[in-house]
């Protein structure tokens, strides 16, 4: 166990960054929380003695378990196929005798495992949401500051028409806000307790089963489902999809940054890491090339996001489960479920770091745009000539002019003004200059930036209102 943890630590800085914890210790505490919540619910339902819930809750602290007790749970897991039977035995011995009957009463192992998974998902969602909002705030700042900063747009990795860095950052912002909205929808409606007993009927609790389920949901602040979902796994898939949306939004940003930070492009750069210990490698440094400054945060995000689709596919495949209890498919969920939470959390933490320190070189953007010699405005020049020549003829004329400009290494303007057809169309040099001005061919870019900022402000305002309401409730 110690050797395995040490090995995993080698990659934790990349793939376990941030505060999402879905490792063995977190699972153990979530399992204990589920058992404690059940004991409290049973007491509230009149099915356990007064004080039993508090007694079980006091005993259900993972950090208080001895190494021998943890080892016992691990060994029992090998014998029973999951850790819950062994944990229930250990927990039953740790509580006063009067409270022991409240431990695990009415539950099956999957009830505790699935409820623990939902608790892990809720805790991860809270952390990831916080980091996403930090990243989104930084993206909003970039969009606001660079609303009108001109740069070349690129489609299929080739230069296209001009855009602004503001609209690029606004696109990043919109993706992050959409990911946050998905997490909110997940937390509000899809994270539910699991409580069905042996075969999903809660037969051992008689008529009290539904009431205990509702109380359990209340104790753990999870939703109470209409019925147990032992072999209906859409909630698990919904968690995975929400995490995949998170990493997709962040992966888009990271990929853009890696492309724009290339030496030959040089339009953005990642910031340096603060608080590094003396003698530590330089952020972005190479073991072989002292001159290099690699976009480490972006690369780490992409390293996380590339793993998530496979994990999502595994969890979707696991949803085909037999009758009232799956033979293996449920077990196959545990590790990919943990991994997808961990990777989404790491990507979100990296994303907050990346966007919070991103530097933008507006001068290099202007230089790269100017280096095109007006070619990205060919579409606009075509529109200028279409009235006199017709659109097909204008298109062909401008296409030919672009070829000649590239082959001769001269600006498109010079080639166009030397063409008799342009003069015959009564198009003057001033007309051509105006058409080749990138600032005049941005369409609704500014409006799109404003709209994205407005939507983000509404999301942030809802957050502030919600926090005030929560503070008032606890006041």
Q: Hey, what are 220's tokens?
A: 């753990």
pLDDT average, residue stretch 267-273? 86
Q: What is the pLDDT of residue 468?
A: 58
Q: 């498109």: which residue's tokens?
A: 412
Rounded Cα gap, residues 163 and 448, in angstroms:
11
DSSP SS3 for 359 = strand
Least Cα distance to 89 among 59, 116, 123, 46 occurs for 59
Q: Tell me: pLDDT of 473 over 90.
A: no
Q: What is the pLDDT of residue 340?
A: 98
In 104-234, at which residue ranges do the beta strands (DSSP E only) sit?
150-155, 158-164
Q: Tell me: pLDDT of 7 over 90.
A: no
* Domain boundaries defined on the chain: 2-274+290-367, 375-435
Q: Tell me: pLDDT of 286 over 50.
A: no
Helix (H) or strand (E) holding 288: none
Rounded Cα gap, residues 354 and 250, in angstroms:
10
Least Cα distance to 123 among 241, 234, 20, 239 occurs for 20
Please say if 286 is a catalytic residue.
Answer: yes
**For 344-388, what is each residue's pLDDT tens digit?**
999 999 999 999 999 999 999 999 999 989 999 999 999 999 988
Q: How confident is the model at residue 9 (pLDDT cuts 50, 70, 90)?
A: confident
What is the C-alpha R_g of the chain?
29
Least Cα distance to 371 among 96, 133, 162 occurs for 162
Q: Hey, what are 5's tokens?
A: 């943890």
- Among 420-429, 435-444, 459-468, name the most confident range: 435-444
Q: Hey, what are 429's tokens?
A: 């040099």
Provide the H-helix boundaries in 227-371: 234-260, 296-305, 308-317, 334-357, 362-370
Q: How many CA atoms lie within 13 A of 435 on its CB side?
A: 22
**For 404-437, what is each residue's pLDDT tens digit?**
999 999 999 999 999 999 888 888 999 999 999 9
Read off φ and ψ for residue 349, nearest 5 degrees: -65, -45
Least Cα distance to 105 among 205, 37, 29, 30 occurs for 205
Q: What's the pTM value of the predicted model, to 2 decimals?
A: 0.90
Please say if 130 is a catalytic residue.
Answer: no
Fold category of 2-274+290-367 in CATH: Fumarase C; Chain A, domain 2 (1.20.200)
Q: Tell me: pLDDT of 139 over 50.
A: yes
User: Which position among 75, 286, 306, 468 bears the catalytic label?
Assistant: 286
User: Which position among 154, 283, 325, 404 bears the catalytic label?
Assistant: 325
Write the CA distances from 208 to 46, 48, 100, 226, 419, integer angstroms.
9, 12, 19, 15, 89
Cβ-in-10-Å burial (0-12, 13-18, 19+) of 407 comes to: exposed
3-class SS shares of the chain: helix, strand, coil, % to 5: 70, 5, 30
CB-CB neighbours of 4 under 10 Å:
9
Provide the H-helix boundaries in 378-428: 378-389, 391-408, 412-417, 420-424
Q: Tell me: pLDDT of 47 over 90.
A: yes
**For 86-117, what is each residue's pLDDT tens digit?**
999 999 999 999 999 999 999 999 999 999 99
Q: Tell me: pLDDT of 332 over 60.
A: yes
DSSP SS3 for 150 = strand
**For 66-85, what is each residue's pLDDT tens digit?**
999 999 999 999 999 999 99
Q: 């941030």: which residue's tokens?
A: 18
Q: Tell me: pLDDT of 2 over 50.
A: no
Q: What is the pLDDT of residue 393?
A: 94
Q: Tell me: pLDDT of 276 over 70.
A: no
Q: Tell me: pLDDT of 8 over 60.
A: no
Per the DSSP assignment, residues forming a β-bridge with 150 are 164
- Residue 270 is classified by DSSP as P
**For 143-180, what is each residue's pLDDT tens digit?**
999 999 999 999 999 999 999 999 999 999 999 999 99
Write the CA distances from 463 to 75, 250, 256, 458, 468, integer angstroms.
45, 21, 28, 9, 9
Q: Tell me: pLDDT of 284 over 80.
A: no
Rounded Cα gap, residues 244 and 238, in angstroms:
10
Give the Cα-Cα-Cα angle 7, 124, 193 (nearest 5 degrees): 115
């Amino acid at each position: 166990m110690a050797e395995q943890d040490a090995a995993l630590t080698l990659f934790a800085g990349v793939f376990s960054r941030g505060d999402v914890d879905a490792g063995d210790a977190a699972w153990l505490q979530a399992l204990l929380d589920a058992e404690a919540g059940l004991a409290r619910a049973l007491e509230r339902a009149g099915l356990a003695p007064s004080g039993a819930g508090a007694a079980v809750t006091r005993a259900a602290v993972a950090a208080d378990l001895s190494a021998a007790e943890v080892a016992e749970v691990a060994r029992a897991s090998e014998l029973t196929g999951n850790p819950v039977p062994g944990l229930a035995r250990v927990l039953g011995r740790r509580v006063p005798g009067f409270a022991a009957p409240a431990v695990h009463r009415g539950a099956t192992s999957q009830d505790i495992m699935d409820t623990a998974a939902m608790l892990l998902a809720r805790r991860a969602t809270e952390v990831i949401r916080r980091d996403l909002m930090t990243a989104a705030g930084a993206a909003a700042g970039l969009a606001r500051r660079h609303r009108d900063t001109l740069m070349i747009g690129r489609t299929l990795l080739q230069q296209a028409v001009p855009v602004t860095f503001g609209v690029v950052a606004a696109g990043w912002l919109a993706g992050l806000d959409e990911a946050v909205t998905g997490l909110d929808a997940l937390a509000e409606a899809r994270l539910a307790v699991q409580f069905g007993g042996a075969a999903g009927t809660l037969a051992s609790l008689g008529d009290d089963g539904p009431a205990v389920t509702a109380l359990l949901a209340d104790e753990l602040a999870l939703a109470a489902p209409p019925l147990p979902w032992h072999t209906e796994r859409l909630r698990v898939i919904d968690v995975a999809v929400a995490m995949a949306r998170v990493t997709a939004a962040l992966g888009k940003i990271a990929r853009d940054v890696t492309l724009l930070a290339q030496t030959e492009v040089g339009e953005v750069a990642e910031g340096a890491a603060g608080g590094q210990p003396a003698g530590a490698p330089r952020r972005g440094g190479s073991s072989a090339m002292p001159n290099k400054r690699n976009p480490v945060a972006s690369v780490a995000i992409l390293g996380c996001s590339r793993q998530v689709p496979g994990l999502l596919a595994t969890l979707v495949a696991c949803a085909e489960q037999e009758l009232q209890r799956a033979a293996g498919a449920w077990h196959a969920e545990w590790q990919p479920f943990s991994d997808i939470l961990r990777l989404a959390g790491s990507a979100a933490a990296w994303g907050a770091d990346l966007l919070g320190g991103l530097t933008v070189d507006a001068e290099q953007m202007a230089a790269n745009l100017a280096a095109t010699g007006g070619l990205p405005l060919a579409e606009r020049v075509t529109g200028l000539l279409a009235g006199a020549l017709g659109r097909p003829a204008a298109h062909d004329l401008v296409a030919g002019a672009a070829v000649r400009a590239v082959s001769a290494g001269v600006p498109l303007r010079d080639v166009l003004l030397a063409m008799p057809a342009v003069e015959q169309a009564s198009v003057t040099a001033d007309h051509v200059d105006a058409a080749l001005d990138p600032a005049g061919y941005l369409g609704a870019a500014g409006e799109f930036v404003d709209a994205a900022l407005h939507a983000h402000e509404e999301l942030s305002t809802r957050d502030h209102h919600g926090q005030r309401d929560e503070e008032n409730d606890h006041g």
